[in-house]
């Protein structure tokens, strides 16, 4: 039990290594069993997690380079726990629904490695090891897009890799600078300084506002490209457009969340003054993401591109919530990460199923599909409603909390961001109408098969989760809430400028009133 996090991280990787000796025909079954075990392990983690405590739990600390304070340091709290569970879930569902035919063995092994890196990112608290997992996660995705992708796959894969890699390098500079700052603050000038890369140590560090701003910028570039924030988003449509279905599912569901998770885990608590100063610029970018990309999504001709752009739009909501500086906004943001992960993952899977049948994703090729594929249309409809944030689906809870949280910061910006419920409905409903409604005119569509057992089996759990967490989000919201509240307390405590302190306190005081 004590080492459950290490097991979670390394089990898929070891299983992946073993996968090389497994027979090609049984590799899918092997992959599914490994990911099922992994998923169950993550559920065990949740079951033994103390949701009422904001402390880091299941801590493991093994020094690697003691001279420089680098250690293998993993733990979870309410913020990361559910991202881990979502990762294991989406990998499992992804492998079940996978329709890749060629080189399936390599695919399964790659996915297992990818799973290791993703979980590693979410649970590591040592910044160097975090950076290691962060960069490692690029490699399997590069391979997935480059090897199984569409005609432009090499371009898309290299663009994805170089773009995100450039951002991370700038972040690395920030990390090193921060490490030196910590070293100096701990008496580095007298040559007795202590090195540490542990995030929890860094949390205690008070930084000057100027330093905070520079470091915020360095981390911002690393995270913003990953999110992806406007105007760094253009790698995403290419990556999604070329990636195989499974690649898109993992990319949208988990990899993008690494960026927003980074903001919540690093930028906010490390640089509270800079974060508060940057609320308005970030909110403006987020609103551009929400409205502009929603409009771009509306103009698309390809179903998958609509969903790719819609991801950017939803990530705008998540970014907005992360900078609301109150529990409603930040909890909503984290909840929305989960909601978007599941909903967009499911939507990409659905598009992939259509692509498997017709080998095209152009909306003009379809129309009236509800007639021949009613089950498919129904599940698509439910996911669509979750995507546009209908109450009693997961999408609403997150969006509502984000907006209500940010309203306390700025009503005007919230109203602008709130247009997401309108523009989101516009592109999603138009997509649905063009694909499923109208006359069934195209001969090729007349004999399309509805969902088969495997596809249904991979989608129904997601539908159930989307509705369950829309009706009863408490089991997830509560631990998130506790962790976020303690993080805000920390931010208030370590803010350098009195103005920041006041601001965070005013955001938080509304929460104390009743409790």
Partner 1 sequence: MENLVYIALFAPFVSSLFALMFVMVPKQTFVGIVASMLLFISFLASSILAYHIVMTNEVIYVRMMDWIVVGNLSIPFGFVADHVSVTMMVVVSLVSTVVHIYSIGYMDHDRSFNRFFSYLSAFVFSMMVLVMSDNFAGLFIGWEGVGVCSWLLIGFWYHKKDVTRDINPSISPSWAANEAFIMNRIADLGMLVGIFIIFWNTGSLQYDVVFPKLSEIAVISPEILITAAIALFIGAMGKSAQFPLHTWLTDAMEGPTPVSALIHAATMVTAGVFLVIRANPLFGMEEVAGVSYFIASLGTFVAFFAASMALVNRDLKRIIAFSTLSQLGYMFAAAGLGAYWIALFHLAAHAFFKALLFLGAGNVMHAMHDELDIFKMGGLRKKMRWTWGYMGLASLALAGIWPLAGFYSKDAIIESAFNEGNLILWAMLVITAGMTAFYSFRQVFLTFHGDERYKEFGIHPHEMYKYVLIGMSPLAILAVVAGWGKDWFEGFVTNLLPAYKMSEHTHHLVTTLTIIVSVFAVSGILIAAFKYIRGLKRSEKMENSFIYRLLANQYYIPQLYAEMISKPYAELSNIFWKSIDMKIVDATVDAIANIVYKSGDGSRKMQSGNLSNYLAWMTFGAVALLIAALISSVLG
Consecutive H or E run containing 74: strand 70-76
The CA dihedral of 38, 307, 471, 255, to the nearest 10 degrees, is 30
Residue of 126, 60, 165 lying closest to 266 (CA atoms): 126
Identity of the residue, 87 or 483, whose beta carbon is nearer to partner 1 in the bound complex: 483
CB of 70 to partner 1, least distance (A): 31
- Per CB under 8 A, the segment of 26-34, 69-77, 249-257, 504-512 that binds partner 1 is 504-512
CB of 421 to partner 1, least distance (A): 6
Q: Residue 440 in 3-state DSSP?
A: coil
Determine if 363 is a binding residue for partner 1 (CB under 8 A): no
Phi-psi region of 395 (alpha: psi -120 to 50; beta: other; left: phi over 0): alpha
Instruction: Give me the least distance between CB of 146 and partner 1, in Å please.
Output: 17
Please, what is the minimum distance in Å from the beta carbon of residue 314 to partner 1? 16
Task: Name which position in 109, 114, 477, 504 contacts partner 1 (CB under 8 A).
Answer: 477
Cα–Cα distances (Å) from 62 to 59, 73, 129, 179, 203, in that order, read 10, 6, 12, 19, 20
Per CB under 8 A, 503 contacts partner 1: no
Cα angle 441, 444, 447 (rounded to 5 degrees) comes to 100
Cα separation, 163 vs 225, whole angstroms: 7
Establish if 443 lies at the interface with partner 1 (CB under 8 A). Answer: no
The shares of helix, strand and coil residues in the chain, as percent rounded to the nearest 5, are 75, 5, 20
Stretch that binds partner 1, among 61-69, 77-85, 196-204, 471-479 (CB under 8 A): 471-479
Instruction: Tell me how far, at minimum, the Cβ of 363 lies from partner 1, in Å.
Output: 14
Binding mask 293-332 for partner 1 (x = CB under 8 A): --xx-xxx-------------------------xxx--xx
Omega of the bond leading into 297 within 30 degrees of 0 (cis): no
Under the criterion CB under 8 A, does residue 505 sit at the interface with partner 1?
Answer: no
Measure the CA–CA gap between 162 and 299, rounded to whole angstroms. Answer: 28
Angle (nearest 5°) at CA 164 between 294 and 312: 10
d(CA 470, CA 215): 37
Q: Which stretch binds partner 1 (CB under 8 A): 60-68, 144-152, 266-274, 397-405?
A: 397-405
Which x/- pattern, by CB under 8 A, does the window 131-170 give for partner 1? ----------------------------x--xx-------
Give min distance, CB of 438 to partner 1, in A.
Answer: 5
Nearer to partner 1, 15 or 431 (CB): 431
Q: What is the 3-state secondary structure (H, E, C) of 31-93?
A: HHHHHHHHHHHHHHHHHCCCCCCCCCEEEEEEEEEHHHCEEEEEEECHHHHHHHHHHHHHHHH
Q: Rule CB under 8 A: choose which of 36, 37, 176, 426 binds partner 1.
A: 426
Please tell me whether residue 433 binds partner 1 under the rule CB under 8 A. Answer: yes
In contact, 503 and 71? CB cutoff 8 Å = no
Q: Which residues contact 500 (CB under 8 A, 6 or more apart)?
A: 272, 273, 276, 277
Contact between 425 and partner 1 per CB under 8 A? yes
Work out how close the CB of 257 gets to partner 1 at its nearest, in angstroms, rounded to a whole number: 19
By rule CB under 8 A, what string of x and - marks binding of each residue 261-280 to partner 1? --------------------
Q: Least CB distance from residue 365 to partner 1, whole Å?
A: 16
Pick from 415, 449, 464, 493 the residue near partner 1 by CB under 8 A: 415
Per CB under 8 A, contacts with partner 1 among 329-348 are 331-332
Pick from 403, 459, 465, 487 the residue near partner 1 by CB under 8 A. 403
Print the binding letters for residues 277-296 with partner 1: x by CB under 8 A, - otherwise.
Answer: ---------------x--xx
DSSP label at 450? -
58-87 residues near partner 1, rule: CB under 8 A: none
Is residue 448 at the binding interface for partner 1, with CB under 8 A as the rule? no
Residue 353 φ/ψ region, left for φ over 0, alpha for ψ in the -120 to 50 degree band, beta for the rest: alpha
Q: Which of 505, 511, 486 minimizes the C-alpha distance to 52?
A: 486
Stretch that binds partner 1, among 24-32, 193-201, 216-224, 407-415 (CB under 8 A): 407-415
Question: Does 401 contact partner 1 by CB under 8 A?
Answer: yes
CA angle, 381 then 382 then 384, to 5° = 60
CA atoms within 13 A on the CB side of 14: 7
In angstroms, how far apart are the furthest CA atoms of the chain?
80
Spell 162-176 as b/e; 16+ CB within 10 A means b.
ebbeebbebbbebbe
Task: Using the rule CB under 8 A, give the single segment among 22-30, 51-59, 191-199, 422-430 that binds partner 1.
Answer: 422-430
> Which residues lie near partner 1 (CB under 8 A)?
159, 162-163, 230-231, 233-235, 292, 295-296, 298-300, 326-328, 331-332, 368, 370-371, 374-375, 378, 385, 390-392, 396-397, 400-401, 403-404, 407-408, 411, 414-415, 418-419, 421-422, 425-426, 429-430, 433, 436-441, 471-474, 477-478, 481, 485, 510-515
């Amino acid at each position: 039990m004590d080492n459950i996090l290490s097991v979670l991280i390394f089990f898929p990787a070891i299983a992946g290594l073993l996968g090389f000796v497994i027979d090609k025909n049984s590799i899918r079954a092997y992959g599914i069993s490994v990911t099922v075990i992994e998923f169950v392990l993550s559920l065990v983690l949740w079951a033994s997690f103390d949701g009422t405590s904001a402390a880091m739990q299941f801590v493991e600390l093994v020094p690697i380079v003691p001279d420089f304070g680098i250690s293998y340091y993993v733990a979870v709290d309410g913020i990361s726990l559910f991202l881990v569970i979502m990762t294991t879930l989406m990998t499992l569902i992804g492998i079940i629904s996978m329709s890749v035919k060629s080189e399936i063995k390599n695919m399964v092994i790659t996915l297992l490695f990818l799973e290791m890196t993703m979980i590693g990112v979410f649970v590591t608290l040592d910044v160097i090891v975090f950076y290691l997992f962060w960069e490692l996660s690029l490699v399997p995705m590069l391979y997935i897009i480059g090897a199984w992708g569409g005609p432009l796959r090499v371009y898309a894969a290299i663009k994805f890799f170089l773009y995100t890699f450039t951002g991370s390098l700038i972040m690395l500079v920030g990390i090193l600078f921060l490490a030196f700052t910590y070293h100096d603050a701990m008496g580095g000038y007298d040559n007795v300084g202590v090195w540490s890369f542990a995030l929890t140590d860094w949390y205690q560090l008070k930084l000057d506002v100027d330093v905070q701003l520079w470091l915020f910028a360095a981390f911002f570039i690393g995270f913003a490209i990953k999110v992806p924030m406007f105007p760094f988003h253009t790698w995403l449509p290419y990556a999604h457009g070329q990636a195989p279905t499974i690649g898109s599912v993992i990319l949208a569901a988990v990899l993008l969340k690494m960026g927003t998770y980074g903001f919540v885990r690093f930028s906010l608590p490390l640089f509270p003054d800079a974060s508060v100063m940057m609320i308005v610029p970030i909110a403006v970018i987020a609103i551009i993401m929400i409205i502009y990309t929603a409009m771009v999504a509306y103009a698309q001709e390809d179903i998958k591109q609509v969903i790719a752009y819609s991801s950017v739009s939803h990530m705008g909501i998540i970014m907005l919530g992360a900078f609301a500086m109150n529990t409603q906004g930040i909890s909503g943001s984290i909840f929305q990460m989960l909601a978007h992960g599941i909903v967009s993952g499911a939507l990409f899977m659905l598009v992939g199923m259509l692509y498997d049948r017709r080998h095209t994703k152009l909306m003009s090729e379809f129309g009236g599909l509800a007639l021949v594929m009613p089950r498919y249309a129904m599940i698509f409809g439910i996911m669509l409603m979750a995507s546009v944030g209908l109450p009693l689906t997961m999408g609403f809870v997150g969006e509502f909390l984000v907006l209500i949280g940010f309203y306390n910061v700025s009503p005007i910006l919230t109203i602008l961001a709130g247009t997401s419920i309108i523009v989101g409905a516009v592109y999603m409903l138009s997509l649905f109408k063009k694909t499923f409604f109208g006359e069934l005119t195209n001969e090729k569509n007349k004999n399309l098969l509805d969902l088969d057992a495997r596809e249904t089996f991979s989608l129904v759990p997601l539908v159930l989760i989307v509705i369950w967490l829309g009706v009863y989000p408490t089991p997830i919201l509560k631990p998130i809430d506790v962790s976020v509240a303690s993080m805000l307390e920390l931010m208030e405590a370590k803010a350098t400028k009195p103005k920041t302190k006041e601001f965070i306190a005013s955001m938080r005081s509304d929460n104390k009133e009743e409790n």
